Chain A
C-alpha cells in the first residue's frame, strides 16, 4: 500500500500557486495569495482511483470537476474548461468530508443551565482557539459546535474545519439543544419552558385580538360619523334633482371610502408585545416556524419515556425533533419507540452487550434495519475519538450494518441533522468541494489512511508521513475490544 502519490499540477492563473504551496500544511495554504483574477473561474479537476458520492453512484476511476470551490460535475471522462488545475490521485479514493454533528472540542469553558434559547454556541466557540487541524487529520471537514450546559442551553453553530479564516462559519444557527439526560433536573425545565412559550404565544394572540377589536370599533365609529355627516349633507342639498345628486353622491362616496379605507391601515400597524428571547426558539417550534428540529439529548431508555411524557401535552402539534443517544444507555428497552424517529444521532458506537448478558447487540445496525437514519458521533470529543472514528464505524460494519449505511451515517445524515445538507455531505453538483482523500479503495478499511483533506476545492491538509509504512499502520487499527467489541464471545 505504499503508493507514491502521483501529482501533476497544471499551472493556474498567473502562476500564483506553485507545487510547493500544494504540498504544504494548513498554515501555508491559509497564507497562500488569493487568486489573481476575480473574473476568472478557478477550475480544479480531481482524477481519482475512486469517487464515492454517498448520495449516488461510485465511480472507479472517477473524476470531479470543481469550479470556484463548488462541485460542477462528477463522473467519468468529463470535459472541463481550461485552464484547470488537475489533481491526479490514481491510487486514492475521494469521498465527502466527514461531518461531526456534535462537538465542543476546544470551546471556551462555559456552561449554561436553565432555559437560554437565545444563546448561541459561536459566542463561546472562538474560532482562533479551536485546533481545527485535529479534525482535519481525522477527515472531518464540517463540525457543529453545540451550546454547552443543561436544560435548553442554546443553538449550535456549524464551522468548516479549514479554509479562509473569515469563511469558517457554514451555518450560524443550527439545531437547538435540549438536554433530557437527567429528568430530575431537566424535565421540569423543559416542560416549564414549553409552557412559557405557549403563554407568550397566547399573550401575542390576545394583544392582537384586542388591537383588532379596537380597530374595528374605531372604524365603526368613523363610519357612523361619516354617515351622519352625509345625511346632514343630503338634507342640506334637498332641493337638487334626484338623479344627478344620486350619481354625484355615489361617486363621492366611493372616492371617500377608497381613501378612508386605505388611510387607517397605513399608519397603525399591529405591534406584537415582546417575546422573551430565551423561549423564542420554542415559540417558533410550537408555531411550526423553527428552521430545524431541536436535538433532544438523552442518556437512557427512561429519559426517552420522560421526554414523551412532556411531549404528551403537545401531541396535537406534531412537533418534529431528533434524539441524541449519548454513550452507554440501555436504549434496547425502547427500540420500538426509537424506530419511529427518522433521524437519530448516536455516540453509542460499537457493539455492546445487553444488560446482564453476554449477548452482543448492535444498536446502530438494528435501528438502520428498522428504517431509521442515523448520524454517528465520535465516542470521545477529542482527537483520540476523532482518530478512532473510522475504525469504530468499521467495526459496526463487521457487526452487520451495510457499508452504504455507514458512509451515510458519517456524512450526509450528519449534514442533514445540522441543516447543511444543501452544502456538504455528498458529492453532488452545486455542493461545496469538501473532500477527504484516502489511500486504497475503501475509506472504511481500518488500514486505509487519510492522505489529503480538501475544503472548497483547496487542499487544507495533507499527510506528510506517506513514506513511512509503520506510521500508516499505527494510525487507525482498532485497539482491542474496548467496550464489548470483543470478538469470539
Chain B
C-alpha cells in the first residue's frame, strides 16, 4: 500500500524510522495479518486472564470474518494505493523518499539526499486509450500522459516516466470530464474550498456520473475528491439579470441602468479624447458606480455574461433586443420556445442552457408558435447557438438545476441522459457531447482549462465503458486534476453492476442493493 503522509524523514530518528517501516508493513497487509495478529494477541491475553470460552471464540470469529471481507473492506476504505496526492506534489517528494529509504535501509543522510534527487512531479498515464478529444478528433490507441494535473503529452510512443501511475484504459473511452452548468448539494456553499465535504456521497455520485466541474453558487469548481487543492476554478462566472415580462418596471430600471452606464462610458471616452488637448478636462464622476451599476458596467464591458431565465418567445425576443442594444453577452436558461425564434437568438449570439426532457404544451390561445419541442436543442444548434444541458429542476425553467437531493440515480446522475434527449430530437451525438464539455466550458468562460483533451489543459477525464449517451454506460474511472477521483471497482455504489464492463453479466450472487445511509 502506498504510504501517503507528509512527515519528513529529516525530523525522524532511527527508532522512529524503523517504527514507521514496521507500521507500513503492518498496514500493507493490514486487515489480513494485523487484525489476526491483533486478535490473536487479544486471544492470548484473554486466555491468560481466565477469559471465558465465549469471549475467546468471539475474537476468533472476528478474525475470520474480517479476513474474509478483506478485499471489499480495502475498497470501501477509499484508501486505494493509486489515489495520488492527498497533499499534492510538494509532499509527494517526501513520500517518494520514504519509499526510497525503505529500499536502502535506515540511513538518514541517504534519505535526505534521495529526497533532493527525486523528481517532485507527479505523472499519470492513460495507456491504450481511445480519446474523444472533443476537438473533432478521435485518437485511437494512444497514451495520454498527465504531469502535475495537466495534460502533458498525447500520442503513440509517449515516453512514460518510471514514477508515473499507469492506468490501462484499453476497451474504454476517454472523454473530457463533464461540466455541470448548474448544481447544488455537491460542494459546500460560499467558498467551496472552505466548506465542502470532500468525501461526501453526493460528490462521489456526481463523479460516478462523469462530472468533474460544476457551477455552484456563482463559481466554477472542480470535484476534487479527498482534497481541496485546485478546487475553485473561476469566481464570478455570471451576472444575474432580472428581465421578465412579468415585471415591466424592473425591465425599465434595468434598461435605464444600462443606459446610464453606457452614457457614462461614452463620457469617459470623450474625456480621454479631450484630455489630449486640454489637460484641465474634468473627469466624469465615478463614485456612483456601485452595486447594480457596477454589475451593468461589467456586462457592458464584456467582463461577464448575463445569466437570465427566459422561455417564451416574447421574453427571448426582448432579451435579444437588450443584448443587441447594449452589447451584452447572454446566457439564457430554459429557452423552451427558442426553436420558434432561433434565427433571432443566433443573431444576438446568445448561449442557451436547455432541458430537452421537459415538455410544455403549446398555448392554444396564441396565434404564434409556442410550447416546447424535443427538437429544440437540435434546431438551436443548427442555428449556431451554443448549447449546454441541465437536468430537470425542482420546477420548470429555473429550478435549482442539477440537485443531488434524494436517491442515487436522480438528477445529476442523468446529466448525459438529458443530452441524450436532445439527440433523440435530432441533435448529433457529437454536438450533445460538446454541449456537456467544451461548449459548457465556453459558456462558463473556463474553456482555457477544461472541456477538451488537449495538451496543456487540465487532466480531467471521464473514462467510460461505452457511448456516454447510452443508458447503460457507466463511468469506470473519473479523473480530476490528474488524480483518480472515482474508481467504479473501489466504490461500493456501482461496483457490482456489469462488473468488468460485461454488459450481460448477471448481478453477483451475494447481491446487496446499495442504498444511501445505513444498510438496514
Contacts and interface: CB of A to CB of B under 8 A. Distances in A.
A184 B515 CA distance: 28
A335 B519 CA distance: 22
A305 B194 CA distance: 10
B78 A361 contact: no
Contact of B49 (A183, A353, A399, A442): A442
A183 B188 contact: yes
Given A332-B78, A371-B26, A442-B49, A400 B63 contact: yes
Interface residues of A, number: 49
A86 B26 CA distance: 47
Interface in A316-374: 318, 330, 332-337, 339-340, 353-361, 365-366, 368-371
A300 B199 contact: yes
A369 B34 contact: yes
Interface string B201-238: 10000000000000000000000001110000000000
A273 to B, nearest CB: 31
Interface string A367-405: 011110000000000000000000000000111111110
Interface string A449-489: 00000000000000000000000000000000000000101
Contacts of A366: 30
A306 B87 CA distance: 11
Interface stretch (B35-43, B97-105, B131-139): B35-43
Given A305-B227, A332-B78, A402 B195 contact: no
Interface stretch (B4-12, B268-276, B397-405, B413-421): B4-12
B189 A184 contact: yes
Interface stretch (B68-76, B286-294, B498-506): B68-76
A213 interface: no
A306 B228 contact: yes
B48 to A, nearest CB: 9
B197 interface: yes
B283 interface: no
A398 B63 CA distance: 10
A93 to B, nearest CB: 10
A402 B45 contact: yes
A183 B27 CA distance: 30
Contact of B23 (A357, A370, A399): A370
Contacts of B35: 365, 369, 400
Contacts of B72: 357, 359
A398 B43 CA distance: 9
B79 A336 contact: yes
A356 B42 contact: no
A340 B5 contact: yes
Nearest to B515: A356
A367 B450 CA distance: 40
Sorting the interface of chain B by its residue count into under 10, 10 to 19, 20 to 34 or 35 or more gives: 35 or more
Nearest to A396: B42
Given A184-B188, A365-B35, A400-B62, A354 B197 contact: no
A359 B440 CA distance: 40
A243 B163 CA distance: 80
B260 to A, nearest CB: 37
Given A357-B492, A365-B35, A370 B26 contact: yes
B198 A356 contact: no
B38 A302 contact: no
B38 A400 contact: yes
A67 B65 CA distance: 50
Interface string B502-520: 0000000000101110110
Nearest to A488: B61
B50 A441 contact: yes
Nearest to B88: A312
Contacts of B65: 360, 489
B77 A332 contact: yes
A401 B38 contact: yes
A371 B19 contact: yes
B228 A353 contact: no
Given A301-B198, A332-B76, A353-B518, 4 more contacts: A305-B226, A308-B87, A369-B35, A403-B46
Interface of A: 183-184, 187-188, 300-302, 305-306, 308-309, 312, 318, 330, 332-337, 339-340, 353-361, 365-366, 368-371, 397-404, 441-442, 487, 489
8 contacts: A336-B4, A337-B4, A339-B23, A365-B35, A365-B38, A397-B42, A398-B62, A403-B45
The 4 closest A-B pairs by CB, nearest first: A184-B195, A302-B197, A333-B199, A356-B492
